[in-house]
Structures are given as C-alpha cells and as structure tokens.
C-alpha cells in the first residue's frame, strides 16, 4: 500500500452499521443528544471523554497544529487505550469508526482527520480503525454512512437534537447568574440533559417531535423557578469565535463561568447557527454558479446547480421552521436569547465592506454575529479562539476598531492549553466596562432582558 493510500481507503464515508462509532465531545449538551439520536437509529455510539488525553494529543503532534486538533487526537487515543484495557484480548480495532468532520479551506480544519489518520497508522494496533467523515462542502451529506431510507429522517432528527442542546445551554446561561442557591442551575441542567437524551433515544427515530417538544417545554418551565427575581439584570455579554473553543468548556477553561463570576450574563453563538450558515453558504454558492452557467448557456451545469440550490434552500427552510418552533415553545416559559438569522448576520457585514462570506470560514459569522449582539443591546463582546487561529485573528483585527468606535467593550480570549495568569484581571476590567455600559443603557431607558 502506498504511503498515503490509507487516506483513501481508511478515511471516508463508511457505513455505520455493525460498528461502534466514536464521537468526540465538543459542545457537551448537543453531543449527548446527538448520541441519543444515533442510538434511536440503532447505531452503537460512544461519546468519548474529553480533555483527559491532552498529554497524548500533544505527545503525537509537533505543536504547530491547531489546538482543537491536539485535543481531539488526545481524546481518541485516551479512549482507545481505555477500550483496550477494558476489553483485553477482545479489543478489535476494526470494529470502531472514529468520527471527524471536515470542511474545505482556507483554514486547517480539513486536515485534522488526515493527520489523525497518519498518527493512527503509525501506532501499533490502531491502524485498522477507520475514520468516518462528512464535509461542510456538501452540507454534511450523510450518504454512505447510513442506509438511504434513513438519510433525510436522521438528518432532521439530528438537527432537532442540536437545537435542543443549544436551548439547554441557553437555559443554563439564563438561570445560573440569577439562581436562588449556588449550584442549583448546573444540577438541574444535568437532570434536564438526561431527560432530553432519553426522549431523543425513544422518539428520535419515530419522528415524534411533538412529544419531544412537550417534554422540553416541561423541562424549561421548571427551570424558571431557579431564578431569584430580586436579583437585578446583569450586563449581557455576547460570545463569538472559533466553534470548538467557544463550545468546549474544558479548553476555554470555563470562560462563561468566569464571566458570570465577575457579574455577567453570557450568550454564546449556537451550534445550530453554524449548521444554518453551511446550508446558507452552499445555497448562495449554488446560486452564483447557476448565474454563471446561465450566462454560458451551459444547460447541464445549470440543472446541477439548480438542484444544489434547491436542496440547500429546502434544508435551510426546514431548519428555520424547526428552530423557530422550538424557540417559540421554550420562550413561553423562559426568556432565553434567540438565534441570529444568517442573512441578518451577513447584512451586518455592510455589503462585504467589513468582511465577505465569500472568503469562507467562521470569521464572517463571528464579525456579523458580534454586531448583531450589539444591535440587540448587549454590553460586551468576547472573541474566543485557539491561539494562532487564522479566521479568529482576522475577526479580531476587524472587530476591535469597529467596536471601539461604537464604544462596546471587547476582548480576545485565546487558548492553547496553558493558564494565563492575567486572564482574570482582563476579564475583571472588561466586566467593569460592561457594567458601565449597561448603566448607561438603563439611564437611556434601553433596558435589557427581564426575568
């Protein structure tokens, strides 16, 4: 076998049937619910413990890789070591499929699974583990992984599980800063996550979304009681940045809790926002290609691009329908913050003057998303990312002067696994500025969220 042959033969779209799928844990609530959904479709899945194997991740990389690449590699190696220990001679690497998505350029996310492949091949006993992947280039098409008759149905159940994961996170961030007893909100969050995971396992495959949402409503209704109404509204902090670092609380050293400790209420950009962005971006790309094909009078390409446009358009319409339905039902009981529409985020880029979605990456989402927060009365913006992350560095270069001009407090928070002793002082100063901004807003009668 040629040196890179295994990148073709052991990395791709492999059937999940009769295999154990190893799932990295990025955004914990969403990932737990996704594993519930996968189980409901009869797939054997293990959600790997995260951040326990960071040393292994660092040991097998050079230090130049993106931080999430090291974390996910460490999670995988740690999990495999544990499986080997648990099963002894019965451990069969060919029974596992490791899941690692990818995206096209311009940054390095598309290379994680290739590097992981090379490292697995270099390790005795792990070379037979294949890597299952999906890519944002085709809106995470699942063909090849699941039976054709399951595809649309699974895709939609998975989307619902992602949105419910976002909602549970927002429930926690909405209640924890105002909880009556310290620790209550987190305990309840865990309880709620277990309940919703069971719902996805039981009803995910049967498309019983109404039943799932009835349970979600009951869960959120109870969360309302955690809030002490005598605690005044706190300054609202909007979080943007690289999706892994901002969603993975171990690697961002629980930044949301740190902001809360210094008197803030935080809303992080959601995971559903990224999925909606992928569908939106592919739809817009297909539209552009359609126009070029029309000009060239290339009928064959015209048909193909129209098909692509229509399928992304249909998916996005469905996603917005479910998103609105879920948030509407939840907001009847608890005023959590909603999700931004992608076209609204794009509008904030001022006709591509600040940045263009055509460049790709999350930078456009983070820049536009931060400005959307500002428009909706937030008091400060935090940009969270892995040290040296390319899109987030662009985002920082653009956001800093813009937010400075409109006088919104802003900080960058970059992480590489080490502890920065001055981070707490930076957050404290930032929160002081956010409080001042909130007071100014309140003096002008522009009040924040009520509870």
Question: Do 333 and 220 meet the contact criterion of CB atoms below 8 Å apart?
Answer: yes
In the bound complex, which residue of the shown chain has the CB atom lying closest to ligand SF4?
107
Question: Do 271 and 32 meet the contact criterion of CB atoms below 8 Å apart?
Answer: no
> What crossing angle do the helices spanning 271-296 and 363-375 adopt, rounded to 10°?
120
Which of 226/389 has CB closer to ligand SF4? 389
For the beta sheet containing 380-386, the strands, ordered from the edge strand earlier in sequence to the opposite edge, are: 265-268, 236-241, 380-386, 410-415
Which of 175/247 has CB closer to ligand SF4? 247
- What the block records as the tokens of 410 is 């802003």
Which of 216/271 has CB closer to ligand SF4? 271
Bridging pattern class, strands 265-268 and 410-415:
unpaired
CA distance 439 to 115: 50
Minimal distance, residue 380 CB to ligand SF4, in Å:
23
Which of 111/195 has CB closer to ligand SF4? 111
Question: Do 283 and 316 meet the contact criterion of CB atoms below 8 Å apart?
Answer: yes
Question: Do 263 and 233 meet the contact criterion of CB atoms below 8 Å apart?
Answer: no
CA distance 435 to 431: 6
Q: For residue 120, give the H/E element and its range.
A: helix 112-122
Which of 66/73 has CB closer to ligand SF4? 66
Minimal distance, residue 393 CB to ligand SF4, in Å:
8
Minimal distance, residue 389 CB to ligand SF4, in Å:
3
308 backbone dihedrals φ, ψ, rounded to 5°: -65, -45
CA distance 272 to 320: 10
Minimal distance, residue 115 CB to ligand SF4, in Å:
11
Which of 169/242 has CB closer to ligand SF4? 242
Minimal distance, residue 107 CB to ligand SF4, in Å:
3
Minimal distance, residue 91 CB to ligand SF4, in Å:
31
Minimal distance, residue 384 CB to ligand SF4, in Å:
11
For the chain, the C-alpha Rg in angstroms (whole number) is 22
| Interface ranges with ligand SF4 (CB under 6 A) | 66, 68, 107-109, 242, 386, 389-391
CA distance 441 to 451: 17
CA distance 436 to 446: 14
Which of 243/293 has CB closer to ligand SF4? 243
Minimal distance, residue 397 CB to ligand SF4, in Å:
14
Tell me the CB-side half-sphere exposure of residue 51, using CA atoms within 13 A: 15
> Nearest-CA neighbor of 109 among 67, 56, 142, 79?
67
Which of 101/141 has CB closer to ligand SF4? 101
Minimal distance, residue 1 CB to ligand SF4, in Å:
28
Which of 43/363 has CB closer to ligand SF4? 363
- What the block records as the tokens of 251 is 């690697």
Minimal distance, residue 278 CB to ligand SF4, in Å:
14
CA distance 270 to 278: 13
Ordered DSSP codes for 52-75: SSHHHHHHTS-S-S-HHHHHHHHH
User: How buried is 70 (Cβ within 10 angstroms: 0-12 exposed, 13-18 middle, 19+ buried)?
Assistant: buried
Which of 118/294 has CB closer to ligand SF4? 118
């Amino acid at each position: 076998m040629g040196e890179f042959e295994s990148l073709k033969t052991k990395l791709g779209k492999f059937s999940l049937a009769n295999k154990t799928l190893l799932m990295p844990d990025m955004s914990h609530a969403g990932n737990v619910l996704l594993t519930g959904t996968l189980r409901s479709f009869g797939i054997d899945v293990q959600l790997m413990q995260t951040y326990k194997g960071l040393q292994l991740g660092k040991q097998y990389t050079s230090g130049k890789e993106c931080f999430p690449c090291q974390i996910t590699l460490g999670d995988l190696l740690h999990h495999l070591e544990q499986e080997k220990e648990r099963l002894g001679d019965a451990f069969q690497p060919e029974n596992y499929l490791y899941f690692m998505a990818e995206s096209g350029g311009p940054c390095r996310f598309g290379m994680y699974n290739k590097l992981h492949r090379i490292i697995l091949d270099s390790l005795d006993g792990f070379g037979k583990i294949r890597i299952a992947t999906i890519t944002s280039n085709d809106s995470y098409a699942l063909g090849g992984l699941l039976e054709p008759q399951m595809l649309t149905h699974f895709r939609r159940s998975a989307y619902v599980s992602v949105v419910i994961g976002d909602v549970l996170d927002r429930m926690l961030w909405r209640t924890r800063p105002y909880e009556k007893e310290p620790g209550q909100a987190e305990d309840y969050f865990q309880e709620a996550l277990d309940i919703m995971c069971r719902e996805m396992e039981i009803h995910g495959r049967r498309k019983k979304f109404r039943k799932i949402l009835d349970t979600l409503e009951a869960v959120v209704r109870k969360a309302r009681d955690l809030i002490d109404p005598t605690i005044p509204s706190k300054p609202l902090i909007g979080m943007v940045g690289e999706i892994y670092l901002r969603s993975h609380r171990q690697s961002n050293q629980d930044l949301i809790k740190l902001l809360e400790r210094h008197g803030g209420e935080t809303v992080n950009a959601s995971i559903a926002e990224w999925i909606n962005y992928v569908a939106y971006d592919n739809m817009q790309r297909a539209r552009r290609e359609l126009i070029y094909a029309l000009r060239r009078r290339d009928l064959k390409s015209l048909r193909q691009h129209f098909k692509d446009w229509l399928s992304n358009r249909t998916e996005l319409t469905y996603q917005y329908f479910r998103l609105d339905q879920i948030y509407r039902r939840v907001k009847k009981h608890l005023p959590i913050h909603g999700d931004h529409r992608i076209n609204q985020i794009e509008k904030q880029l001022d006709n591509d003057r600040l940045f263009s979605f055509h460049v790709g990456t999350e930078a456009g989402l983070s820049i536009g998303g931060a400005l959307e927060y500002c428009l909706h009365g937030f008091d400060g913006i935090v940009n969270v990312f892995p040290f040296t992350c390319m899109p987030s560095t662009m985002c920082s270069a653009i956001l800093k002067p813009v937010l400075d001009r409109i006088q919104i407090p802003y900080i960058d928070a970059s992480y590489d696994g080490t502890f920065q002793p001055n981070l707490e002082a930076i957050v404290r100063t930032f929160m002081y500025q956010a409080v001042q901004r909130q007071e100014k807003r309140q003096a002008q009668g522009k009040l924040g969220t009520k509870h």
